[in-house]
Amino acid sequence: GIQVFIAASLENAFQDIIALYNQRQPNVTVTYSADSSGTLLSQIQEGFACDIFFSAGAKQINQLQEAGLDIEGTRVDLLENKVALAVPEGNPKGIESFDQLAQLLKSGDVLLAMGNSDVPVGQYTQKIFSYYGLDEDSLNAAGVLTYGTNVKEVTSQVSEGAVDCGVIYATDAFSAGLTVVDTATPEMCGQVIYPAAVLKNSQHPDEAKAFLEYLQGDEAGAVFESVGFMPLT
């Protein structure tokens, strides 16, 4: 069988996709490991057995390619996600936009949950701060930020109402049933592209390439769309 390392935000879609793929290819077992893209990259670099890496950001796949750990020519940009400003039920702070959030952060009147700087969702949030001329260290010192080690943790903080809002992906907001009050534009933080590639140490490169091809098709695309992604292939 093949082992796929996927960004945590892909897990919901993947369970359905593997079930569909099993109907088409009953002889190929697909298993996956879901975690933050940074953690998965470290595991690949340490030599964990993995056939396909499906990351939530270009950075991790770029590092993979620079290290020559991918099979050349297999990289594909599969999906786009949106960076979303999500609020707890009832939106107690009445937050309506990133513009307004920037003002509230400056005045110290909000508690925002964000990802750590080593995970893509945290890196996108940092870009949004730069876009608004906000200094993360000052905000942190002012006590208006809380952190999560991955996007699921940030989402939980919003769901539980432990914070006034959080910067997560549209897909995570969708899965958690949270209200999205604004989505970031490419000017604010760039596009959120999810690339995938087959790994050089794959024991089953042909099966892996076939599955990666399947992920680019309409059937898988419909599943990705149903949880809030935009297929790019």
Confidence bin at 161 (pLDDT 50/70/90): very high
Residue 136 pLDDT exceeds 90: yes
Enter the tokens of residue 228: 């809030």
d(CA 191, CA 199): 24
Task: Look at residue 118 and tell me whether its pLDDT is greater than 90.
Answer: no
Stretch 49-53: mean pLDDT: 97
Q: Which amino acid is at 117?
A: S
- Of 202, 183, 152, 232, the C-alpha closest to 82 is 183
Q: Give the model's pLDDT for residue 9.
A: 84
Classify residue 87 by burial, with Cβ atoms within 10 Å: 0-12, 13-18, 19+: buried
Comparison of pLDDT for 228 and 70, the residue scoring more: 70
- Kindly report the average pLDDT of the chain as a whole number: 95
Amino acid occupying residue 190 = G
Residue 78: band (very low, low, confident or very high) from pLDDT cuts 50, 70, 90: very high
Cα(first)–Cα(last) distance of the chain, in Å? 25
Q: How far is Cα 200 from Cα 69, in angstroms, rounded to an integer?
A: 5
Write down the pLDDT at residue 111. 98
Q: Hey, what are 211's tokens?
A: 């599955």
Angle subtended at Cα 187 by Cα 182 and Cα 188, rounded to the nearest 5 degrees: 50
Over 90: is that where the pLDDT of 102 sits? Answer: yes
Distance (Å, rounded) from C-alpha 32 to C-alpha 47? 16
Residue 232 phi, psi dihedral angles, 5° rounding: -105, -5
The predicted structure's pLDDT at residue 188: 98
pLDDT of amino acid 120? 82
pLDDT of residue 57: 86
- pLDDT tens for each residue of 164-212: 999 999 998 998 999 999 999 999 999 999 999 999 999 999 999 999 9
- Give the containing element (helix H, strand E) for 132: none
158/120: higher pLDDT: 158
pLDDT for 201 equals 93
**Closest-CA residue to 95 (of 82, 106, 109, 83):** 109
Assign 45 to helix, strand or coil. Answer: helix
Task: With residue 168 as reference, give the H or E element that holds it.
Answer: strand 165-169
For residue range 20-42, list pLDDT tens digits in order.
Answer: 999 999 999 999 999 988 899 99
Q: Radius of gyration of the chain from Cα atoms?
A: 18
